Amino acid sequence: MTVRVRFAPSPTGFLHVGGARTALFNWLFARHEGGVFLLRVEDTDRARSSEEMTQAILDGLDWLGLSVDEGPFFQADGVVRHRADALALLERGAAYPCFCSADELASRREDAKRRGKGFGYDGRCRELAEGVARARVASGDPHALRFEVPAGGTAWEDLVHGRVAFDNGTLDDFIILRSDGTPVYNLAVVSDDLDGRITHVIRGDDHLSNTPKQILLYRALGRPCPEFGHVPLILGMDGKRLSKRHGAMSVLAYRDMGLLPDGMVNFLALLGWSPGDDREVLDREQLIDAFSVGRILKKGAVFDIEKLEWLNGRHIAAAPADALAPAILEIISDRAVRVGSTLRETHPGIDDRSRLLAVIDLVKDRPRTLPALADQAAPFFAAGIEYEQGAVDRFLRPPDEVAGILRVLGAGLDTHTGPWSGEDLERVIRGLAEELDIGAGRVINPLRVALMGQAVSPGIFEVAALMGRDRTRARIDSALGFLDAMAATA
């Protein structure tokens, strides 16, 4: 048997974190089993569906790299088949026409509410004589089709939760076809999954109550059921269901925040699933190899933005520089445009690709997002330098004393005739600190601020080596001018 799974979003909103994780679990299962991943857009709610949302879902899947084997199919295109399946249930005696109007049902619901009782359909149309019901249908009386829930219970072996059982007495006879001829969700889903030859349905726990109804429909149609697996919901850090305040945004919002698709995929995979060992940083192939439905956890998973950013940082560190370079250039270029300039004006020399790649390789271990990586790469090429106030307060005070250290350092570098390498620069700089009889940090930290404008950077010796002799000296001179201005206003 070839495994066939589907992701079936409704285009009434963006592809959010919960939907993306459902799509990912289905995709990983299909890839692990050598099966088929199908996309079906459930767009029968025409009033709330939109082409914009459909495209946003497709864009989200594309960014995540969840390639679709079949589809996208659109549920609205299957309405004729849905009706045929509903009529087949009527012919089999598993469904019956219901002539109760929406107003009548609303009135009964309100009456039950006034009496402090729950409302459930009382089955009155089921009791109509067959001849009476047929005559009313033939005369054109508006009617829906209701499925007749049999007595007993419905149970299945859930791929995540194990045995799950429902008492059929808790289920009303539910509508499968509205009076306007449009199908209701549960019928449409069953019909579509049969048409798509779906073997496994992996979806959120919020669909658990739909499953007994769908199993009953499969049985009444005389068709085998797929296997069902229901994934626990994603929770916020406060243990409540994930909402916008926790981070339940479109996955494309995380792209815009500077996350890598591989980082997002890694994080989503660990939301309620474990590889069976202590690994947390996994690439796509490792996820596919390790994935099994049996390792999906039964309890809700917590959305931790800190862990997401940490994992993303690990994927940035592992990514080749040439894969990161286009995004870094775009970010720095966009910043230049915002100040009314161009990339080459604000960052001359950044089009030297080999140097850009060397810079990215040097700085990529620490940042957790692409904008943070751009923050680390940009100073190597910037025409001017800006100093972070925190770095100034921490390492450039008192200004006259720091200026004296940097002047000695600048003079020492001017006389250095050896290779401009990290190893040689470390020897020179540490030697100057010894000559001044101060700790090396009192030279290194002001130099870091002078070169990068920041309190944190990769190894400063490697930074200076990659920045080059001329730019390093120019940055020290700029810092000296800044320090002299500080001292004058102190």
Q: Choose among 401, 488, 410: nearest CA to 451.
A: 410
Token pair recorded at residue 345? 């004006």
| Catalytic (active site) residue 244 | yes
CB 107 within 8 A of CB 119: no
At residue 258, the 3 state secondary structure works out as: coil
Amino acid letter, residue 414:
D
Give how far Cα 325 sits from Cα of 75, 143, 329, 347, 382, Å.
41, 62, 6, 14, 16
- Rounded Cα–Cα distance for residues 344 and 360 (Å): 18
Any residues with CB less than 8 A from the CB of 229 and at least 6 apart, and which? 158, 159, 160, 200, 201, 202, 203, 293, 296
Token pair recorded at residue 325? 């370079």
Exposure of 149 in the CB half-sphere (CA atoms within 13 A): 21
- Rounded Cα–Cα distance for residues 227 and 325 (Å): 44
Helix (H) or strand (E) holding 141: none
Token pair recorded at residue 214? 């769908």
Q: Choose among 377, 388, 316, 325: nearest CA to 347.
A: 377
The single-letter DSSP state of residue 250 is B
Q: Choose among 42, 65, 396, 89: nearest CA to 188.
A: 42
> Which residue is catalytic, options 117, 213, 240, 244?
244
Token pair recorded at residue 324? 């990161």
The single-letter DSSP state of residue 100 is -
Torsion of CA 147, 149, 155, 159, to 10 degrees: 20
- Rounded Cα–Cα distance for residues 395 and 397 (Å): 6
Exposure of 336 in the CB half-sphere (CA atoms within 13 A): 21
Cα angle, residue 49 at apex, residues 103 and 244 outer, rounded to 5°: 100
Any residues with CB less than 8 A from the CB of 344 and at least 6 apart, and which? 350, 351
C-alpha R_g of the chain: 32
Exposure of 371 in the CB half-sphere (CA atoms within 13 A): 8
Question: Which positions are annotated as active-site residues?
Answer: 244
